[in-house]
Amino acid sequence: MLFSRYLGGLAGGLLLASSVTAAPADSKGVSQDEDFFRRRAIEARAGDNKKVSQDEDFFVRRELTNRALTIDPNNKNGRQPWPDNTLTYCFANDDSKDKLAELVKEGFEEWKKAGDIHHLKIKKEDHCDTKKHLVITYVKGQMRTTVGFLSGDTTMKFDPDLKGYGDKKINMAHELGHAFGFFHEQQRPDAKNHVKFECENLKDYEDILKANNGNKETVKRLCENHFEATTEGFSARDFAPLTDMGLDESGDFNMDSIMRYNSEMGGKRALKIGPRKSVLTDLNGKDLKDIKKVDGKDVDRLNRIYH
């Protein structure tokens, strides 16, 4: 199943920055659009799918800085593949270039090692044009990327020192997946048939529970609703299913996708010093195999977008 059309990032060790720090929440951005997201959450709770659909492009632009589903290249009203099958990128400043230039190349090489990329190319420009380029910036403690091409607002924020998948090249490959047009695999509507989401093990679960006066039913709803979790700045937004978003969900769930989080990403630590608790497991509660490379099926999906 292709899940690609948002903004993406890593959670948990990455939060890549959020621990997911992978797709840690962009608190500032969420705060700026707080009224909008609260309205969206209310509409989603009320089942006003028509309104949700009408606001989809704005929502995707603001929130999708992290999530693999994929963009639908046939949906002309949403996020698009990169023009001329070429992802053109630049670095926001010299510090970002010094820290990330080689890593971007290495991340793309990870994709090429997984299979034959038919048409997509990446190209570096020395001077940034925010309307045409993926603007890459070194930002300590963050790992977030716009999903697909969005003129005037396509960015990657990356910290190579975040844990994420435990390999900075694989972390970069994941973020490039978002830039290509992929969302998180665990957010496919059918993911519940393949993996188990242990929301109570999220790093910020207790904080969200406290903010909602200990009401576990309310927090359970947040764990299951992407819009509402986003409104609350709750990291469950990187796990809750993306539904009614006009994404390309074709194909089967890919357990080996580079866009699927490892089990402990975004998890809280036992006694605050031990290993992270598992947030994603198989249906029997066992940890998932760690992702260590781009999967061949990811490349197949990529070739469906760029052809």
pLDDT in tens, 38-87: 455 555 555 544 444 444 444 443 333 343 467 777 765 567 899 999 99
Q: Is the pTM of the predicted complex or chain greater than 0.85?
A: no
Write out residues in the chain with pLDDT < 70, as ranges: 1-69, 75-78, 244-246
Dump pLDDT digits (tens) for 12-41.
333 332 222 334 333 333 333 344 444 555
Report the candidate in 286, 283, 193, 197 with the shortest Cα–Cα distance to residue 237: 197
Give pLDDT, residue 153.
82
Q: What does DSSP say about strands 134-138 and 86-91: parallel, antiparallel, or unpaired?
A: parallel
Give pLDDT, residue 300.
95
Give pLDDT, residue 152.
75
**Cα separation of 162 and 140, whole Å?**
9
